[in-house]
Amino acid sequence: MSQSHNQVGFTLIELLIVLSFLQLILMFSSFHYAKSQDLYQFQLWYVQFEHDLLYVQKKTMITTLDMTIQLNPNRYNYEIRYSPIYSPEEIRTYNKDWQLELLTTSYHLRFSRNGNFKSPGQMRLTTTYYSHQIYFPFGKGRAYVITKER
Protein backbone atom coordinates (compact mmCIF):
# COMPACT_ATOMS: atom_id res chain seq x y z
CA MET A 1 0.00 0.00 0.00
CA SER A 2 1.40 3.31 -0.99
CA GLN A 3 1.07 6.38 1.20
CA SER A 4 0.84 9.83 -0.24
CA HIS A 5 1.81 12.75 1.90
CA ASN A 6 -0.05 15.88 0.91
CA GLN A 7 1.58 18.71 2.75
CA VAL A 8 -0.51 21.85 2.89
CA GLY A 9 0.98 24.98 4.45
CA PHE A 10 3.97 27.26 4.28
CA THR A 11 7.62 26.50 4.70
CA LEU A 12 9.72 28.13 7.36
CA ILE A 13 11.51 30.27 4.75
CA GLU A 14 8.22 31.62 3.39
CA LEU A 15 7.05 32.55 6.90
CA LEU A 16 10.34 34.31 7.67
CA ILE A 17 10.11 36.35 4.46
CA VAL A 18 6.54 37.45 5.23
CA LEU A 19 7.46 38.34 8.83
CA SER A 20 10.45 40.40 7.67
CA PHE A 21 8.21 42.38 5.28
CA LEU A 22 5.74 43.01 8.09
CA GLN A 23 8.55 44.21 10.32
CA LEU A 24 9.72 46.69 7.67
CA ILE A 25 6.20 48.05 7.20
CA LEU A 26 5.75 48.49 10.95
CA MET A 27 9.13 50.18 11.28
CA PHE A 28 8.36 52.78 8.61
CA SER A 29 4.87 53.44 9.91
CA SER A 30 6.09 53.94 13.49
CA PHE A 31 8.71 56.45 12.31
CA HIS A 32 6.04 58.36 10.40
CA TYR A 33 3.77 58.28 13.46
CA ALA A 34 6.52 59.76 15.66
CA LYS A 35 7.09 62.60 13.19
CA SER A 36 3.40 63.40 12.89
CA GLN A 37 3.01 63.28 16.68
CA ASP A 38 5.91 65.74 17.05
CA LEU A 39 4.33 68.15 14.57
CA TYR A 40 0.92 67.83 16.22
CA GLN A 41 2.36 68.65 19.67
CA PHE A 42 4.01 71.78 18.26
CA GLN A 43 0.79 72.85 16.55
CA LEU A 44 -1.13 72.52 19.82
CA TRP A 45 1.49 74.60 21.62
CA TYR A 46 1.56 77.23 18.86
CA VAL A 47 -2.23 77.68 18.86
CA GLN A 48 -2.08 78.39 22.61
CA PHE A 49 0.88 80.75 22.07
CA GLU A 50 -1.06 82.69 19.40
CA HIS A 51 -4.05 83.01 21.74
CA ASP A 52 -1.76 84.31 24.46
CA LEU A 53 -0.24 86.86 22.06
CA LEU A 54 -3.73 88.04 21.09
CA TYR A 55 -4.72 88.28 24.76
CA VAL A 56 -1.67 90.37 25.65
CA GLN A 57 -2.13 92.57 22.57
CA LYS A 58 -5.81 93.25 23.29
CA LYS A 59 -5.24 93.78 27.02
CA THR A 60 -2.50 96.32 26.27
CA MET A 61 -4.67 98.15 23.74
CA ILE A 62 -7.81 98.50 25.88
CA THR A 63 -6.30 99.10 29.32
CA THR A 64 -3.51 101.19 30.78
CA LEU A 65 -1.65 98.02 31.73
CA ASP A 66 1.55 97.19 29.89
CA MET A 67 1.38 93.40 29.66
CA THR A 68 4.26 91.23 28.49
CA ILE A 69 5.04 87.65 27.58
CA GLN A 70 8.30 86.75 29.26
CA LEU A 71 10.15 83.88 27.54
CA ASN A 72 12.19 81.58 29.79
CA PRO A 73 14.13 79.12 27.59
CA ASN A 74 16.07 77.67 30.55
CA ARG A 75 12.87 76.82 32.43
CA TYR A 76 10.97 75.59 29.33
CA ASN A 77 8.09 78.02 29.77
CA TYR A 78 6.79 81.49 29.13
CA GLU A 79 4.87 83.73 31.51
CA ILE A 80 2.11 86.26 30.93
CA ARG A 81 2.80 89.21 33.23
CA TYR A 82 1.61 92.73 33.92
CA SER A 83 5.12 93.73 34.93
CA PRO A 84 8.39 91.99 35.87
CA ILE A 85 7.77 92.85 39.53
CA TYR A 86 4.33 91.22 39.74
CA SER A 87 3.78 87.49 39.87
CA PRO A 88 2.80 85.93 36.53
CA GLU A 89 -0.85 85.79 35.58
CA GLU A 90 -0.28 82.56 33.66
CA ILE A 91 2.66 80.19 33.11
CA ARG A 92 2.71 78.03 29.98
CA THR A 93 5.23 75.22 29.69
CA TYR A 94 6.49 73.33 26.67
CA ASN A 95 8.26 70.02 26.11
CA LYS A 96 11.67 69.73 27.79
CA ASP A 97 13.04 68.03 24.65
CA TRP A 98 12.45 71.23 22.68
CA GLN A 99 15.04 73.97 22.37
CA LEU A 100 14.02 77.63 22.21
CA GLU A 101 16.52 80.11 20.73
CA LEU A 102 15.85 83.84 20.73
CA LEU A 103 17.45 84.94 17.47
CA THR A 104 16.58 88.62 17.14
CA THR A 105 13.81 89.12 19.68
CA SER A 106 14.13 89.85 23.38
CA TYR A 107 12.97 87.82 26.37
CA HIS A 108 9.93 90.12 26.68
CA LEU A 109 7.29 90.27 23.96
CA ARG A 110 5.38 93.53 24.34
CA PHE A 111 2.86 95.50 22.35
CA SER A 112 2.42 99.25 22.04
CA ARG A 113 -0.94 100.92 22.66
CA ASN A 114 -1.81 100.74 18.95
CA GLY A 115 -1.23 96.95 18.84
CA ASN A 116 2.22 96.80 17.21
CA PHE A 117 5.14 94.81 18.57
CA LYS A 118 7.56 96.94 20.55
CA SER A 119 10.47 94.67 19.63
CA PRO A 120 9.81 92.68 16.46
CA GLY A 121 12.13 89.82 15.68
CA GLN A 122 12.31 86.07 15.43
CA MET A 123 12.92 82.98 17.50
CA ARG A 124 13.51 79.33 16.68
CA LEU A 125 11.83 76.40 18.42
CA THR A 126 13.55 73.12 17.59
CA THR A 127 11.66 69.90 18.24
CA THR A 128 12.81 66.32 17.67
CA TYR A 129 12.09 66.25 13.93
CA TYR A 130 11.38 69.87 12.96
CA SER A 131 12.74 73.38 13.23
CA HIS A 132 10.12 76.13 13.57
CA GLN A 133 11.05 79.75 12.86
CA ILE A 134 8.56 82.08 14.57
CA TYR A 135 8.53 85.66 13.26
CA PHE A 136 7.12 88.70 15.06
CA PRO A 137 6.79 91.28 12.27
CA PHE A 138 6.38 95.05 12.24
CA GLY A 139 2.76 96.12 12.14
CA LYS A 140 -0.32 94.59 13.70
CA GLY A 141 0.30 90.99 12.69
CA ARG A 142 0.92 88.91 15.77
CA ALA A 143 3.23 86.15 14.52
CA TYR A 144 3.71 83.55 11.84
CA VAL A 145 5.72 80.36 11.68
CA ILE A 146 7.79 78.58 9.02
CA THR A 147 8.39 74.89 9.67
CA LYS A 148 11.29 72.93 8.17
CA GLU A 149 12.21 69.31 8.62
CA ARG A 150 15.53 68.75 10.37
Cβ-contact 105, 123 below 8 angstroms:
yes
Cβ-contact 91, 143 below 8 angstroms:
no
Q: Give residue-wise pLDDT tens across range 4-56.
A: 666 677 888 988 998 998 898 888 777 788 899 999 999 999 999 999 999 99
Instruction: Please report the pLDDT score of residue 132 as a whole number.
Output: 97
Contacts of 25 (CB under 8 A, 6+ apart): none
DSSP state of 123: E
Q: Give residue-wise pLDDT tens across range 49-76.
A: 999 999 999 999 998 888 999 999 999 9
Q: Among 65, 73, 146, 145, which residue's Cα sits nearest to residue 110?
A: 65
CA 99 to chain centre: 10
What pTM value is reported for the model? 0.80
- State the alpha helices, DSSP H only, in the chain: 12-62
- Measured distance between the N- and C-terminal CA atoms of the chain, rounded to whole angstroms: 71
Cβ-contact 111, 94 below 8 angstroms:
no
Domains of the chain in start order, with CATH, are: 35-149 (3.55.40.10)
Instruction: Please report the pLDDT score of residue 12 as a whole number.
Output: 87
Residue 3: pLDDT band (50, 70, 90) is low
The percent of residues in the chain predicted with pLDDT above 70, rounded, is 95
Mean pLDDT of the chain: 90
Q: Give residue-wise pLDDT tens across range 90-108.
A: 999 999 999 999 999 999 9
Measure the CA–CA gap between 118 and 140, rounded to whole angstroms: 11
